[in-house]
Amino acid sequence: MGTSGKTPHVVILGGGFGGLAAARALSRAPVRLTLIDRKNHHLFQPLLYQVAAAALNPSDIATPIRRILRRQKNVTVILDKAIAIDVAQKRVCLADGTIDYDFLIVATGATHAYFGHPEWARAAPGLKTIEDALEIRRRLLSAYEAAERETDLERQRAWMTFAIVGAGPTGVELAGALAEISRQVLARDFRRIDPRAARIVLVEAGPRVLPTFAPDLSQRAADQLRRLGVEVRMGTAVTTIDEHGLALGDERIEAKTVLWAAGVAASPIAQSLGVPLDRAGRVRVEPTLAVPGAPDVYVIGDLAAVSQAAGQVPGVAQGAIQGGRHAAKNILNTLVGRPRVAFCYRDLGSLATIGRAAAVAQFSRVHLSGFIAWLAWLFIHLMLLIGFRNRFLVLTEWAWTYFTRDHGARLITGSERES
C-alpha cells in the first residue's frame, strides 16, 4: 500500500483514546486516513478493572473500531500490529506488510513494566487488555474455588490472600473491587470457607496511595480502603514475587494471587524512531508533539513524554485525547501552510473510585470524596463511554450490582496461561 494521487495519507497507529481522537478530528480534512490497531476494538480502559472484578462484560467497555468510525468515510481500519517505523522512508513495517505515510500519528500506548524483573510477569499479571482482565478474573474466582477444596489451613489462607502491587488508580480500584467481591458478592456462595475473611493487601513503594492526587485525597482514599477491609502498606517495596506469594524486604506474604498495578513502559515501537527516549521508554517530543527531526511524525498519549510548565502531562485518557486533537490540528496547519503550534495540556480533573459508593475526585482546587465523588465518577464515566448501547448496558449492570450486591459476570473461562 502506498500514497496514491495527491490526497495526503495520514496513518494512525493505535485505536485508543488518542488515535480515535486524532481520526475524528480529521474527519472533514482533505486527507486519506488509515487507522491500524492489533485489536479490533477500542477499549475504555478506565473501567477495565470492573471486567477483572466480574462486574462488567468485555463488550460493555469495548467497541469495534470499525463500528465507531463506520460513518467517517475517509478512514480505512486495518487489523494489524505495527512493528517498526522507518522515518527516512516514511514507511511503517507491519506484521503483515508495510504501509507508506505522508503524516504519521503514533498512539500505541504503554504496557506493564516489571522494573527489571520480567520473571514476575507470570506470577503477577497486569491489567491492560481484555485478555488481561479475563485472566485476572479467572485467577480471582479460581482462588476461592481452590480455597473451598483445600483442607490444609495454611494453604487455604494463601488461596484467600490477594496482594496488589502499586497504589495508583488501577491498584486502588482493583483493591476496592476485590474487597467488595469478597465481602459481599461471594459471601454466601461457599460452604467451607467464608470469603469475607479474605485478606487483601495493597502494597505501595511510595509514601501514599494515589500519588498523583492531592495529599488530603490520598489520605481519604486510604481511609476508605481500610474501611472496606483492605490492608494498605505504604512505603513498602516488593523484593520478590513468585507463584506462592511475595516478599516485602524481610516480610513474606503467602498469597496465591498477586496482581501487578505498579508500572508501565512505553510501547517498544518507540525505539525504532531513533530519537532519545525517557526512562520509561517514552518519546521526548517537541512542544508541537512532533518527533525531533521528523516533523511529520507525531507521538501522543502514553507513548509521549510531554513537558509543560505545570509538569509532565499525565498518562490518562484526557492527555491522549487532547494530544490526538492537537496532532490533527498541526497536520491541518501544515497542509494549509500555517505554522504548527505548541501543545498546552488542560487538566480537567482526576477521579478514582474505591468500591461501592465511594471515590475521590479532584477538579483543580475542588476536592471531593465519598458518595458525592462516586456520583461524579459514575456520571463522567458513563458520559465518556462510547455509544449509547454501552452507556445503557453499563448503567443497567451498575444499578443491578448496586441494589443486589451481586456481580453478574462471575465466569471462569479459558485455561491457565502458563502450564
> Which residue, 100 or 148, has its beta carbon nearer to a second copy?
148
Q: Is residue 392 a contact residue for a second copy (CB under 8 A)? A: yes
- Contacts of a second copy in 82-101 (CB under 8 A): 96-97
> Which residue, 99 or 376, has its beta carbon nearer to a second copy?
99
Candidates 98, 102, 400, 405; binder of a second copy (CB under 8 A) is 400
CB 114 within 8 A of CB 264: no
Catalytic-labelled residue, pool 135, 173, 180, 397: 173
DSSP labels, 53-106: TTSS-HHHHEEEHHHHTTT-TTEEEEE--EEEEETTTTEEEETTEEEE-SEEEE
SS3 state at 351: strand
Candidates 3, 27, 76, 240; binder of a second copy (CB under 8 A) is 76
Q: Is residue 240 a contact residue for a second copy (CB under 8 A)? A: no
CB neighbourhood size of 379 (10 A):
10
SS3 state at 231: strand
Q: Is residue 405 a contact residue for a second copy (CB under 8 A)? A: no
> Which residue, 13 or 141, has its beta carbon nearer to a second copy?
141
DSSP labels, 9-34: EEEEE--SHHHHHHHHHTTTSSSEEE
- 173 noted as active-site residue: yes
Q: Is residue 70 a contact residue for a second copy (CB under 8 A)? A: yes
Q: Is residue 58 a contact residue for a second copy (CB under 8 A)? A: yes
b/e burial code for range 138-167 (CB count within 10 A of at least 16 → b): bbbbebbebbbebeeeeebbbbbbbbbbbb
Q: Is residue 66 a contact residue for a second copy (CB under 8 A)? A: yes
Interacting stretch for a second copy, rule CB under 8 A, among 17-25, 77-85, 110-118, 332-340?
77-85
**Cell numbers representing residue 241 in the block:** 514475587
- Contacts of a second copy in 150-209 (CB under 8 A): 188-192
- Contacts of a second copy in 104-143 (CB under 8 A): 130-131, 134, 141-142
Distance CA 233, CA 349 (A): 26
Minimal CA–CA distance to 264: which of 284, 279, 280? 280
Q: Is residue 67 a contact residue for a second copy (CB under 8 A)? A: yes
Distance CA 183, CA 128 (A): 26
**Shortest distance (Å) from residue 151 CB to a second copy:** 9
**Shortest distance (Å) from residue 299 CB to a second copy:** 25
Return residues touching a second copy (CB under 8 A): 39-41, 57-60, 62, 64, 66-67, 70, 76-80, 96-97, 130-131, 134, 141-142, 145, 148-149, 188-192, 389-390, 392-393, 396-397, 400, 404, 406, 408-414
